[in-house]
Structure 1
Amino acid sequence: MGAEAGTEKGTTQRRAQGARERILTAAARLFAEQGITATGMEQVATEAPVSKRTLYLHFRTKSDLVLAHLRALAESGSTLEGVLTLEDLDPRERILRLFDPPAADAAVARGCPFIDAAAEFPDPESPIHAYAREQKLLMVRLLAALVRELGCEEPDALAEQLVTLADGAASRAMVLNEADYGRHARAAAKTLLAHALPGTA
């Protein structure tokens, strides 16, 4: 009886985890296609597909779902910030990878999801806006560490400049529907790096 109960419990947990993953996958697709505000919880449940009861068991509110979605993106490494942690690349190459065209199915194909989320939840006190801000500040810290490693004497200032280029390029790529728009920012980033780090151009 004990073994049977354990097996049944394990099956239930796997089903629950599977439902959660389907919900997050559906939410990510819908949020990217039509925006967070325009996506309703019922639509997410239909797309998952799960019952509304199951959806609300996993995510009590839409804000909970949005936060889980943003955390999943951050953990996936598929956002702009993710490329800065690729240890198999040298620091300069990681920086320049910020401006590469995203993969066709990447989370950043439609711009930066953290900037998008902050724009849809403009209240600075909103947990969603606060999480987006946290990720954008993390991006600056990661860049500052990389340019410091390259020998930059003013890493914080250079990191802010590079972040501004990367975020601006991602936003314009989305607005203009031009995936390769980052090439313009990449050229500017090379100029900044050459000026701040002689011998690295």
Structure 2
Amino acid sequence: MKKQRGQTVTDKIIDTAERLFYKQGYNITGINQVIAEADIAKASLYKHFDSKADLLLAYMQRFHKDWLNRLEIRINKESDPKQKLLAIFDHMTERQLYREYRGCAFVKANNEAGDSNERVLAEIQNAKKHFKEIIEKLVINSDHKKLLTDQELTEMIFLMTEGGIVAASIFKQAEDLQSAKKIIQKLI
């Protein structure tokens, strides 16, 4: 991420942490590397964040907000309720391409810090619950074929998107997300 002129110190720190935590991992990324690459003083970092875990939490919170905004924009491009549901898979495919098939930032953070930090785990769980709530609202409004209950279809879409992201990360392609989309298309 390019740093923009006039960018706040907090944003510089979070931008740098996001890039490093996502690309190389939370545990491998040291505070000194964040400080060096953000081009800030150590005191500046600790003025804004008490710990590395607090920095991870701030990154997760901002990432969640930005992710939701992008998802809503993508969904709202569609007028048909069923197409809104299918747009989720297109959005996930686009994000995996953009992120060079590196997987889900929330899953990565969970694998590295979810067990050791309850606040980070709670933020990750909140993000995933929020995503499932979005799916559920779309399912309810979709007037789907009712081959599955609303709850079952919600769970299926959630699990298929999550699994599709993992497969994209492993196989370095997004075909599984598009296959999942085709399956859901038959059910709605």
State the 1:106 CA deviation: 4.2
Q: Distance in 2 between matches of 1:29 and 1:57?
A: 21
The answer to whether the Cα contact below 8 Å between 1:147 and 1:159 also exists between their aligned partners in 2 is yes
C-alpha root-mean-square deviation of aligned residues, in Å? 2.6
- Following superposition, the deviation at residue 34 of structure 1 comes to 0.7
- The aligned residue for residue 169 of structure 1 is 164
From 87, 92, 95, the equivalent of 2:76 is: 87
Superposed displacement of residue 84, structure 1? 4.6
Task: Figure out how many residues of one structure are paired with residues of the other and give that number.
Answer: 177
Partner SS state of residue 133, structure 1: helix
TM-score (norm 2): 0.82
Q: Secondary structure at the match of 1:38?
A: coil
SS at 1:75's partner residue? helix
Native 8 Å contact 1:73 1:107 kept in 2: no
Segments ≥4 residues shifted beyond 6 Å: none
**Amino acid of the structure 1 residue aligned with 2:158:** V
- 1:19 partnered with 2:14: no
**Deviation sequence 1:110-164 (CA, Å, 0-9, x none):** 2121122222224286111111111111111111111101125622221111000
Structure 1 or 2, whichever has the larger Rg, is 1
Per the normalisation by structure 1, the TM-score is 0.77
Matched residue, 2:107: 115
Shift of 1:170: 0.6
What is the percentage of aligned positions where both structures have the same residue?
Answer: 27
Contact 1:95 1:143 in 2 (8 A): yes
Structure 1, unpaired ranges of 5+: 1-13, 194-201
Counterpart CA distance in 2 for 1:71 and 1:93 is 28
Q: Is the 8 A contact 2:22 2:108 kept in 1?
A: no
* 1:39 alignment partner, one of 29, 34, 54: 29
Provide closer, same or farther for how the CA distance between residues 104 and 159 of structure 1 changes in structure 2, counting only shifts above 3 A.
Answer: closer
Higher relative contact order, structure no. (Cα contacts within 8 Å, ≥ 6 residues apart)? 2
Mapped partners of 1:169, 1:105: distance in 2: 13
In the TM superposition, what is the alpha-carbon distance from 1:175 to its structure 2 partner?
A: 1.8
